[in-house]
Structure 1
Amino acid sequence: MSQEQTVYTKLRSMLLNGEFEPEQRLTEKHICDILEVSRTPVRAALLRLEAQNLVVGQSNRGYTVRGIRVRDVWDANVVRAVLEGSAAGALARQGLSDETRDTLEQSLREYGELAENVELTDRFLTLHSSANWTFHETLVSATGNESLTRSIETLAYMPVQINRTVFASDRAYAVQTVRSGLAEHHGVVAAILSGDATAAEMLMRTHSQKALRGIEAVRDRQKLGPDYLDMPFTQFIGGVGTSVAAA
């Protein structure tokens, strides 16, 4: 992973975990001091995070932290599910390259190994996140549709985030989610390989909506009322005693 990507990932994780206060001012120098890196990767990371609406640029004054509500995460994942469904449908119509097929099959093997022995450990969660990210990212990038790729990139709320939150405190949920996720990945790939664009799109859209079901699981766990969507996201996930890990 490049230094630019590393800085972006770390800073994004800090923002999503609530390590900065809403409306807090961020400067390049402050971030450089925290992460002990030069200004160049920090500047690039802040520009990406501004495009994702996690920070707001202030003319000649750096950036401020945008407060994220549960509703923001929900809405982003609704859109993401539609876009990822479109990507799967497009691949079914245009077919897979040998390289893409090999990458997807490898991600299915890695995911399958994880599904055989689900653990509530940081290592397991990281490996699961990586296998899941590879699958989703490969499907989108393989379309060659730059507009689609950019649109999904602006949605900073990866489906794995909510699932990781619940995984850490509920093994039964983790086992069910990982194993059903594996079956869904296989179903999407099978539909793509058969050239069934309609099935591929609908299966992928349903799979991507796991993030929404994860939000509902956290809501139910905390017995929250209908106004929970307006809660700060970090307060919402904090109620189950864990933090979000950026993927």
Structure 2
Amino acid sequence: MNPILPPIEPQWTQPIREVVYERLKEALLEGRLRPGDRLVESELAQRLQVSRTPVREALRRLEAEGMLESLPRKGLVVKDYSLEEIEEVYSIRESLEALAAVQAVRRATEEELRHLEALMARIDILERDPRTPPRGIFEAHRDFSEACIRACHLPRLVQMIETFKGHMTRFRRVTLGDDARRRRVRDEHRSILEALKNRDEALAERLTREHIRGAYEAYFGLAGSSAPTPAAPPSLQPASEEVETP
């Protein structure tokens, strides 16, 4: 079994502060550092075999991104999410990605659409191969989602969505770990791609909203009995009430 935080090898060509940041973030996103785990600067530096300065900088960045939090008498810990925070993240994600989908219909190039088709074909191949590890399928779906978002050609919107990437990666690892949900995601991504190719703004927006609401509901269904399944928050109204048919 791989250690939670293996030492950083000296041959890395990136600045050490970036390597430390990426190593810690990867451990958070992959669940090797779990909600409530206490992070002590000196201990992390010893594990990674680096000085404390790049560790301190990385922890500050991750705290600013909302992945860590400071608690009284505990110090810095991996953030756990309240019901309200999860609802907030999904609500904001729905609004931003629905806008990105509409803009992608308008702005995506034919080359980008061909690239999305290739990514979708790769997902199909991976899904059919029983040897594919869950991480491979997760990364393939992530690549498809990110390519769809980039196709909107609105850098500020892409940047805003990017700020939620860490939160959503933790949620997606729960939902895409379920075979039935993963099959639905594949079908939903295929439908969204067809809407983009057909330049159908209303359909692309509706399908994107439905996809994210499905992820929201699946998260609570799979996260465990301690997480209640609430009604959709106020911002998550039925798509038919939000999207006007042109």
Q: TM-score by structure 2 length?
A: 0.68
Q: CA 1:193–1:9 in structure 2 vs 1: closer, same or farther (change >3 Å)?
A: same
What is the match of residue 187 of structure 1?
191
Q: CA 1:164–1:48 in structure 2 vs 1: closer, same or farther (change >3 Å)?
A: farther
Deviation at 1:112, TM superposition (A): 0.9
Q: What is the rounded CA distance, in whole Å, between the counterparts of 2:113 and 2:98 in structure 1?
A: 18
Q: What is the rounded CA distance, in whole Å, between the counterparts of 1:209 and 1:16 in structure 2?
A: 27
Aligned partner of 1:157: which letter? H
Q: What is the rounded CA distance, in whole Å, between the counterparts of 2:191 and 2:54 in structure 1?
A: 39
Task: Give CA-to-partner distance per residue, 1:61-113, whole Å, 9 cap, x none.
Answer: xx722642242233212221221121111110123251x22431222012112
Q: Give the fraction of aligned pairs with identical amino acids, expressed as a percent.
A: 21
Deviation at 1:10, TM superposition (A): 2.5
Q: What is the rounded CA distance, in whole Å, between the counterparts of 2:214 and 2:49 in structure 1?
A: 36
Q: What is the rounded CA distance, in whole Å, between the counterparts of 1:162 and 1:218 in structure 2?
A: 7
Confirm whether residue 10 of structure 1 aligns to residue 26 of structure 2: yes
Asked if structure 2 preserves the Cα contact closer than 8 Å seen for 1:115 and 1:178, the reply is no
Q: What is the rounded CA distance, in whole Å, between the counterparts of 1:225 and 1:105 in structure 2?
A: 37
Q: TM-score by structure 1 length?
A: 0.68
Asked if structure 2 preserves the Cα contact closer than 8 Å seen for 1:20 and 1:65, the reply is yes
Q: Which moved more, 1:180-189 or 1:64-73?
A: 64-73
Q: Which runs of 5+ in 2 are unaligned?
A: 1-11, 231-246
Asked if structure 2 preserves the Cα contact closer than 8 Å seen for 1:104 and 1:138, the reply is yes
Aligned length: 207
Deviation at 1:163, TM superposition (A): 1.1
Aligned partner of 2:225: which letter? Q
Q: Secondary structure at the match of 1:69?
A: coil
What is the match of residue 157 of structure 1?
167
Asked if structure 1 preserves the Cα contact closer than 8 Å seen for 2:116 and 2:147, the reply is yes
Q: Which structure's relative contact order is higher, taking Cα pairs within 8 Å and 6+ residues apart?
A: 1
Q: CA 1:191–1:52 in structure 2 vs 1: closer, same or farther (change >3 Å)?
A: same
Pick aligned residue for 2:135 from 105, 115, 126: 126
Asked if structure 2 preserves the Cα contact closer than 8 Å seen for 1:15 and 1:54, the reply is no
Task: Give CA-to-partner distance per residue, 1:213-241, whole Å, 9 cap, x none.
Answer: 2223136x6386579xxxxxxxxxxxxxx
What is the match of residue 92 of structure 1?
105
Q: Secondary structure at the match of 2:76?
A: strand
Q: CA 1:152–1:224 in structure 2 vs 1: closer, same or farther (change >3 Å)?
A: closer
Asked if structure 2 preserves the Cα contact closer than 8 Å seen for 1:110 and 1:131, the reply is yes
What is the match of residue 222 of structure 1?
225
Task: Give CA-to-partner distance per residue, 1:181-226, whole Å, 9 cap, x none.
Answer: 122111111111221112111111211233212223136x638657
Asked if structure 1 preserves the Cα contact closer than 8 Å seen for 2:102 and 2:202, the reply is yes
**Larger helix share, 1 or 2:** 1
Kindly name which structure, 1 or 2, has the bigger radius of gyration based on alpha carbons. 2
Q: Which runs of 5+ in 1 are unaligned?
A: 168-173, 228-247
Matches of residues 80-119 of structure 1 in structure 2 within 5 Å? 80-98=93-111, 100-117=112-129
Q: CA RMSD in A?
A: 3.4
What is the match of residue 156 of structure 2?
147
Task: Give CA-to-partner distance per residue, 1:106-162, whole Å, 9 cap, x none.
Answer: 22012112333567xxx5210111111101111222323232222222222224222
Q: What is the rounded CA distance, in whole Å, between the counterparts of 1:103 and 1:39 in structure 2?
A: 42
Q: CA 1:185–1:204 in structure 2 vs 1: closer, same or farther (change >3 Å)?
A: same
Q: CA 1:111–1:137 in structure 2 vs 1: closer, same or farther (change >3 Å)?
A: same
What is the match of residue 68 of structure 2?
55
Q: What is the rounded CA distance, in whole Å, between the counterparts of 1:84 and 1:142 in structure 2?
A: 11
Confirm whether residue 32 of structure 1 aligns to residue 45 of structure 2: yes
Q: CA 1:181–1:225 in structure 2 vs 1: closer, same or farther (change >3 Å)?
A: closer
